[in-house]
Amino acid sequence: MSAINLKVNGKVHAVDVDPTTPLLYVLSDDLALNGPKFGCGLGQCGACTVIVKGQAIRSCITPVKSVEGAEITTLEGLGTIEKPHPLQQAFIEEQATQCGFCINGVIMTAKAFLDKNPKATEQEIQQAMSGVLCRCFTHVRMLRAIYLYREGRFRDGRARDAAARAGRTREEAAK
Amino acid sequence: MSKHSEVLPKPTLTDDAAAALGRAGFSRRSFLVGAGALIVSFSMKGALQTAAAQGPFEGGTAGSPPLNQLDSWIAIAADGGVTAFTGKAELGQGISTAQIQLVAEELCVPFHRVNLTYCDTAITPDQGITSGSQSHPTNFNQKNLAQAAATAREALFELASKRLSVPADQLIAADGVISAKSDPSKKVGYGELVGGKKFEIKLDPNVKRKPASEWTVLGTPARRPDLPALVTGQFEFVHNVRLPGMLHGRVVRPPVVGATVVNVDESSVQGLPGAVKVVVKKNFVGVVAEKPWQAIQAASKLKVTWSAGTGLPSHADFYNYLRTQQPTRDTLLVSSKDVDEKLAQAATVLKATYYYPNQMHGSMGTSCAVADVQGDKATLYSPTQGVWPVRGSASILLGLKPENVHVIFRRGSGCYGLNAADTVTYDAALLSQALGKPVRVQLTRKEEMAWGENYGFAFVMDERAGLDAQGNIVSWDHESWSANLGNRPGYTTPGNVITGTLAGFSPEPFMARSPAPEPRAYTNNSNGVPSYVAGNVGGKAQGSGTVKSERSLTHNIPSPLFTAPLRSPARLQNTFAHECFMDELAARAKADPVAFRLRHLSDERLIDVVKEAAALANWEARPSPKPQSRRTGIASGRGFSCVAYEGENGWAAMVAEVEVNQDTGKVAVKRIFFSNDSGPISNPDGLRNQIEGGALQGMSRAMLEEVTWDDQKVTSVDWESYHTLPLGFDVPEIKVKLINRPDENATGAGETAITLVAAAIGNAIFDATGARIRQVPFTPERVKAALSQTLSRV
């Protein structure tokens, strides 16, 4: 055990843990955060993703000591229920969730990627999301939410405008 | 979603249960705790009480709030807020949103005024398992929650009539206020009428439901109330339940199937950080430590000597194994006893065999539970699909009285059937019982996949049918082989899942039976009967098709691996075979696959979805395969499939458009079209979400997923060895046509789409290339093998 200073969502926490502990366990257990999730412990699914220094990383395979002092952002750090981040708002608007267990990995991976590549094409976004899993297969809605966020439809965190609503889905035409 | 701010002495309500009752208008201090059974009562004649206090049992299992009592379902608070209690859990499928809509609609209150409390054995009625496309039919037709909400509305109208001295038929309700139609100033709110008091009446079986023509909440696309918390990381999954003094447990499973504990060397973990404790119960082994990482390390360091395993049949030869094991348990679904005779007279006879592998639920998150077992009382936080059944089975596992086991549902990762939810609940319960402290257990990925869940069923299916000279089907014979071990534990069988067996309980026994008895009543619950036959049992045709000469015979054998329902269990496998074979028959008859289906269908709702899906896809009427397709490069094609789910629990049809790379065998699904009829549509957006997810989950299962094993153990143990379609693949365009039938009964909606996908894709591959693929998953190797067979035939 050793004392480690972690900077998470703008706050510094001193934790006393085995320095080889994967970051995820410290976030979930010591800091009681619900955003990052244990999906595989192998870096294969994305459920544990957090953003460190602008980079989406898999916290289930990252020793806590290696991110000491670095700025760590979790899903909780993006927005709140009252004031969601525009990307989170996009997922609400598109109702882009089923069980919701994967949502942390989906949103955090997309956020880190689009921060660096704000004009990414749909194909580039798909490529960026290719290491993220959703076993409810809510893919259609999730990708749509990410595309709409990229288009700036939710810049102020409010509901999408009428144009976005009108252009909503191909399937609507089938109604 | 709420955090545990305090822990009450047991036995008592959890904070959440207390909060739910609080929202219903009752204070926490009004709960009295009795000896033995938990007795909830209210100083002001409260809304709920358990069996111990209420006389004869009239619904659900013993201990459950009685299903025929209104107070088991609905409570109105002093402020007029409505709390509804249901036994159908939100697993991610969106049923809680639809249930809120239902209650809001029948009670004439806004959506946000309804609080839904589900699946807590201290307060919600026993509705068994949330599964099998049963929640919509169970709670939205003339019974249970729907009937309760309508009964409550009628009762409120009667009370208002007396209070306002206005005849009930002269009253109108809106936003929780009842007023006189002629004089809106004469009004009274629900809270004033019953707030905080019990209704003390039974559900009225003849109560008038609000007609769909008057719906304003039901039938509209309601937003899910859980999403804001989910997307901001505030939602509390079972994984996030944190109890004061909670320890962290890990299980240590056998290295190979059938191995038993010879010795556990506790000294191997002595002195490790975290005050490690070792727990052994027969072949169940686990460790507990103060922190999760400490428990993980202790579990990996614990030296356990195991016996040799019992071995597994060859995976490569497993379909032959299924077909040849004796004895079997045989079931005849239909038998006109003239199949051999009719086939002998047929102009053409076709035979084909289809193969479907064991597949996983493969939940995104590994399963987790938190248990607090102290003395003779247990509180279990579980992601189970059935809190009341787990209350029963866990009480047997723990040797406690069922009334002393309190099971509280907390959402887990989406399960799609019996994943490791129940088994991990037992894991946590056993560890907690051994230590007398609260213990959280989450499985590793490998444990989830190899030692946690019960797999979906593998099937071998023989199809045989005859055509007359005009290309009409004259006889259809279906025979299948599948294997089972364990099942859902139900109320009494903890051995049906892995942990129960390790702890010394037995799975439900295999009961051989051959030959099969004659069918007595028609059921197509498993979709073992093809849609195109008459389904004649007892002199009455009850199937959805026209072919009178019919047989459907199933053989079941013991499985080497644990199995249980996985989304569309048996229905998907059977439909894959039936719908591909129907396509083979159409091709032999040189008929358009859609027209050929319609020619042999009698069920109007199935006919309608077939026509709607074809119209949606701009289906071009012509036989398959597509003429003049080249045998190299990319070939495109379309395939059709349809089903009357479980015979009469949802109707759907699908078109898949694919591109097959004939050089690599890779299949890309470009567009998918669905038509769906689940009766009255409760939440169109929720239904679309289920269909979209079902389409892609069906694609993943059709093209990638298969449980694998060597001669000793399962080898598909992570996402490298068990494949799934990631978020980034080239997602097909999905178009959905929802057919609304407001005057029909509500039917299942969560499994219709997934049932159709493998067949439609298989048929599309045939249309594109002329190659018939009869084994799931459609890997590039199998597609190439099928293509080379086609070439050799040419």
Residue ranges and CATH numbers for the domains of chain A are: 2-77 (3.10.20.30), 86-174 (1.10.150.120)
Percent of chain A exceeding pLDDT 90 equals: 85
DSSP assignment, residue A27? I
The whole-number pLDDT of residue A2 equals 85
Judge residue B169's burial from the number of C-beta atoms within 10 Å of its C-beta, 0-12 exposed, 13-18 middle, 19 or more buried. exposed
Give the least confident one: B18-32, B64-78, B322-336, B371-385: B18-32
Contact A173 B729 (CB under 8 A): no
Residues in chain A: 175
**Domain match, B647 and B539 both:** yes
Secondary structure in 3-state letters for B478-509: EEEEEEECCCCCCCCCHHHCHHHHHCCCCCCC
Residues B465-476: what's their mean pLDDT? 98
**Domain match, B541 and B664 both:** yes
- Cα–Cα nearest to B188, from B215, B165, B208: B165
pLDDT tens by residue, B247-266: 999 999 999 999 999 999 99
Residue B396, pLDDT > 70, answer yes
Residue B535, pLDDT > 90, answer yes
Q: Does A130 touch chain B (CB under 8 A)?
A: yes
**Residue span of the structural domain in which B296 resides:** 238-308+361-451
pLDDT tens by residue, B660-685: 999 999 999 999 999 999 999 999 99
Q: How confident is the model at residue B36 (pLDDT cuts 50, 70, 90)?
A: very low
Token duo for residue B555? 């053989």
Residues B743-747: what's their mean pLDDT? 95
Residues 4-33 of A with CB under 8 A from B: 17-18, 21-22, 25, 28-29, 32-33
Q: How confident is the model at residue A171 (pLDDT cuts 50, 70, 90)?
A: very low
Contact B365 A1 (CB under 8 A): no
The whole-number pLDDT of residue B51 equals 32
Q: Which residue of B93, B230, B360 to mutate against A (max A Cβ within 10 Å)? A: B230
Q: How confident is the model at residue B629 (pLDDT cuts 50, 70, 90)?
A: low
**Domain match, B186 and B41 both:** yes
Q: Which residues of A touch B94 (CB under 8 A)?
A: 98
Contact B718 A44 (CB under 8 A): yes
**Is there a contact between A114 and A121 (Cβ–Cβ < 8 Å)?**
no
Q: How far is CA B348 from CA B464, B471, B475, B595, in A?
A: 11, 9, 11, 19
The whole-number pLDDT of residue B794 equals 40
Residues B431-457: what's their mean pLDDT? 98
Residue B15, pLDDT > 70, answer no
**Domain match, B146 and B41 both:** yes
DSSP assignment, residue B52? G
**Domain match, B127 and B260 both:** no
Residue B326 placed within a domain: no
Residue B346 placed within a domain: no
Domains held by chain B: number: 3
Distance (Å, whole) CA B673 – CA B748: 19
Q: How confident is the model at residue B791 (pLDDT cuts 50, 70, 90)?
A: low
**Domain match, B519 and B403 both:** no
Residue B114, pLDDT > 50, answer yes
CA atoms within 13 A on the CB side of B251: 35
**Domain match, B630 and B775 both:** yes
Closest chain B C-alpha to A64 CA, distance in angstroms: 12
Final residue of a domain: which of B409, B431, B451? B451
Q: Which residue of A30, A72, A75, A101 to mutate against B (max B Cβ within 10 Å)? A: A101
Q: How far is CA B714 from CA B360, B717, B720, in A?
A: 12, 7, 14
pLDDT tens by residue, A57-77: 999 999 999 999 999 999 999
Please tell me which residue of chain A has the smallest CA distance to B273.
A1
Residue B51 placed within a domain: yes
- Cα–Cα nearest to B695, from B636, B648, B651, B735: B735
Q: Which residue of A35, A92, A106 is in closest CB contact with B227? A: A92
What is the β-pairing status of strands B82-86 and B114-118? parallel
Strand-pairing partners, residue B329, are B513, B556
Residue A172, pLDDT > 50, answer no
- Cα–Cα nearest to B762, from B751, B754, B770, B753: B770
Q: Does A134 touch chain B (CB under 8 A)?
A: yes
Residues 6+ apart with CB under 8 A from B490: B389, B392, B393, B496
Distance (Å, whole) CA B707 – CA B709: 7
Residue B170 placed within a domain: yes
Contact B364 A75 (CB under 8 A): no
- How many helices and strands, by DSSP H and E, does chain B display? 19, 26
Distance (Å, whole) CA B782 – CA B250: 40
Q: Does A88 touch chain B (CB under 8 A)?
A: yes
Q: Does A121 touch chain B (CB under 8 A)?
A: no
Closest chain B C-alpha to A139 CA, distance in angstroms: 6
> How many Å separate Cα A82 from the centre of its chain?
18
Please tell me which residue of chain B has the smallest CA distance to A38.
B365
Q: How confident is the model at residue B631 (pLDDT cuts 50, 70, 90)?
A: confident
Distance (Å, whole) CA B313 – CA B310: 10
- Where residue B109 sits, what CATH number does that domain have? 3.30.365.10
Distance (Å, whole) CA B4 – CA B244: 9
Residue B328 placed within a domain: no
**Domain match, B179 and B282 both:** no
Q: Which residues of A touch B694 (CB under 8 A)?
A: 137
Closest chain A C-alpha to B734 CA, distance in angstroms: 7
* Count of A-B CB contacts under 8 Å: 208
Task: Tell me which of A154 and B28 has the higher pLDDT.
Answer: A154
Q: Which residues of B touch A170 (CB under 8 A)?
A: 733, 735
The whole-number pLDDT of residue A153 equals 79
Sheet architecture: strand order including B329-335: B329-335, B549-558, B473-484, B459-467, B348-356
Residues A7-21: what's their mean pLDDT? 96
Residue B481 placed within a domain: yes
Final residue of a domain: which of B451, B471, B504? B451
Percent of chain B exceeding pLDDT 70 equals: 92
**Is there a contact between B374 and B436 (Cβ–Cβ < 8 Å)?**
yes
Final residue of a domain: which of B433, B451, B469? B451
The whole-number pLDDT of residue A1 equals 78
**Domain match, B493 and B422 both:** no
For B353-421, the DSSP string reads EEEE-------SSPPEEEEEEETTEEEEEE--S-HHHHHHHHHHHHT--GGGEEEEE---S--SBS-SH
**Is there a contact between B548 and B534 (Cβ–Cβ < 8 Å)?**
yes
The whole-number pLDDT of residue B789 equals 87
What is the β-pairing status of strands B368-374 and B377-382? antiparallel
**Is there a contact between B72 and B125 (Cβ–Cβ < 8 Å)?**
yes
Percent of chain B exceeding pLDDT 90 equals: 89
Contact A17 B293 (CB under 8 A): yes
Residue B496: CB atoms within 10 A of its CB come to 26
The whole-number pLDDT of residue B11 equals 36
Closest chain B C-alpha to A173 CA, distance in angstroms: 8
Distance (Å, whole) CA B361 – CA B90: 17
Residue B62, pLDDT > 90, answer no
Indicate the SS3 state at residue B248.
Answer: strand
Mean pLDDT across chain B, nearest whole number? 92
**Domain match, B188 and B83 both:** yes
The whole-number pLDDT of residue B245 equals 97
Residues A93-110: what's their mean pLDDT? 98
Residue B498 placed within a domain: yes
The whole-number pLDDT of residue B729 equals 86
Q: Which residue of A2, A28, A45, A137 to mutate against B (max B Cβ within 10 Å)? A: A137
**Domain match, B731 and B746 both:** yes
Q: Which residue of A18, A40, A92 is in closest CB contact with B718? A: A40
The whole-number pLDDT of residue B14 equals 56
Residues A24-30: what's their mean pLDDT? 97
**Domain match, B542 and B568 both:** yes
Instruction: Give me the residue label for tokens 């001669």.
Output: B711
Residues B226-243: what's their mean pLDDT? 98
Residue B313 placed within a domain: no
Q: Which residue of B227, B240, B242 is in closest CB contact with A95? A: B227
